[in-house]
A and B are shown apart, each in its own frame.
Chain A
């Protein structure tokens, strides 16, 4: 079992002929993901790594039965691309693109939530169900199938944790990068609910960072609804207030969003908090007796 994506996922790639889109399509195909279609306006009839290209998402869905999309188009075209995928009826849309305007995402996320469509991202590494499907840019060689669900706002920090788990022989059900933007399609609680409901997920790793209050909301949710052991880490203890730390959403503003507050919320919720990233895999190993 897994969440969100598996070997039955029929993936469509928006922006497939671009540099990023083409490169990562190759990796997704090599991993064994069923990449059934690509979309780039004006490039219908071409193929990328053997994947047929269509002008519109609607055309691609009609021809291939795609049921999920991953988006690599430039930031200024991203809101349009997400809404096009939603309009074509795709229930899962994963947006890798960084730098999408916040006001675009306000409109897009509210529209998708109303329609019950799952958007992951933007500004995220995507998700991977080891051995089944890779949707996005998480390296396939650092994961293996197993019992741990991973959810994170980060990219490479997540890779670190996946790599450390895999090195210890601890595999993952699904790893989900929800992205580092202030307005996201999928929040921690959405993923936590899915991991709690997934019988194959035995424990959960949650990696947060400074900015916003989603970690606090996640902590409340875990205290009330999650019965599986949870290991947590918050990045940005040394970040100064008022400065954006790389991610658009990683900023302490008006005195809120600090790592200290988030860590305290995690601890109150009974989450096993790691002091540094190397500890995360060690704590998971101890908890599951691996």
Chain B
């Protein structure tokens, strides 16, 4: 789960990291009121869960309440890479001497946490990694030992900080790592961490990715989920315990298992079609779950055919076939279905579906070809 910049900075502030004293607003009038409280020049920032807000015109400086209200009016409702802006953050503007990048990130391959920093703040770290990799300094943290003060010193001196500034940087590294651990984050990023005119450091932007598997012990963070960032279909799927991702093709896919679901999408494309979604109904799904999955797929008007691909292992093929028929009995649709069920009780499943005049195929490749052909004819 990802959270907004203003939420990330609030959390960082709780761990002692210096952040601007801004507030979030959902209307131009609210933005104006925040600016009046803060006083002076402010920056109005779109709060959407995507990068490139600045380039899209979603971050603007404003002087005085009138200007703030006008800028907020421009930004609210704006579309940035498919995300509608519902909130803006109004932060006091600060004089920036230079910008630093700092992040704690999960290193899956090493099974460690990497803390990395660079003097080239304010740009994507991937860009720095590609153009000037030596500018990035890293330390790797052994989770059994934890972060030590020397890690902070190595990073601070590594990017050329010294004196009191190096000391403050080391403290921020420790606070960021503590936030990363305490919040069950897989990424905690400050970009930029700015050097102010007086030489002190402040986190001007923040990004946090949270581990979905840990939300059960982070109820406060679960409450930060932005319902506006989820499609209706994605919400329905999450509540039903289905793994679902919206795509923009025309072949609906209903599969058991994540790897098989991805492979099913891939084969659809290989056969000249394009998948409308990723959908994994999980193991041992009952008829009601199958029905919810079908409703989610069929509510998408772009879906021209549906490919059902089930591997019966512990799950019995005939049970899934009965589930599909029961679901279709309750849903009014003329979208053609192609069903492929193999594994345990597959023959019984085929017999059940043949009685219902449903297209079946023995292999995934053939099923995908049939689904693509059925979609093309509509």
Contacts and interface: CB of A to CB of B under 8 A. Distances in A.
Interface stretch (A36-44, A46-54, A230-238): A230-238
Interface string A106-118: 1101110110000
B184 interface: yes
Contact of B257 (A141, A156, A214): A156
A142 interface: yes
B263 interface: yes
Nearest to B242: A246
Interface in B284-310: none
B343 interface: yes
A248 B258 CA distance: 10
A19 to B, nearest CB: 10
Q: What's the dominant secondary structure at chain B's contact region?
A: mixed
Contact of A209 (B125, B142, B181, B259): B259
Interface residues of A, number: 65
B270 interface: yes
Contact of A246 (B144, B186, B280): B280
Contacts of A247: 258-259
Nearest to B129: A254
Interface stretch (B7-15, B23-31, B106-114): B106-114
Candidate in B211, B257, B258, B365 with the most chain A CB atoms within 10 angstroms: B258
A237 B257 contact: no
B278 A100 contact: no
Interface in A85-125: 99-107, 109-111, 113-114
B133 interface: no
Candidate in A113, A160, A233, A247 with the most chain B CB atoms within 10 angstroms: A160
A35 interface: no
B213 A238 contact: no
Interface of B: 106, 108-109, 111-113, 125-126, 142-144, 181, 184, 186, 211-214, 216-217, 243, 245, 247, 255-263, 265-270, 274-275, 278, 280, 283, 311, 313-314, 342-344, 363-365
5 contacts: A142-B343, A159-B313, A182-B106, A209-B258, A277-B267
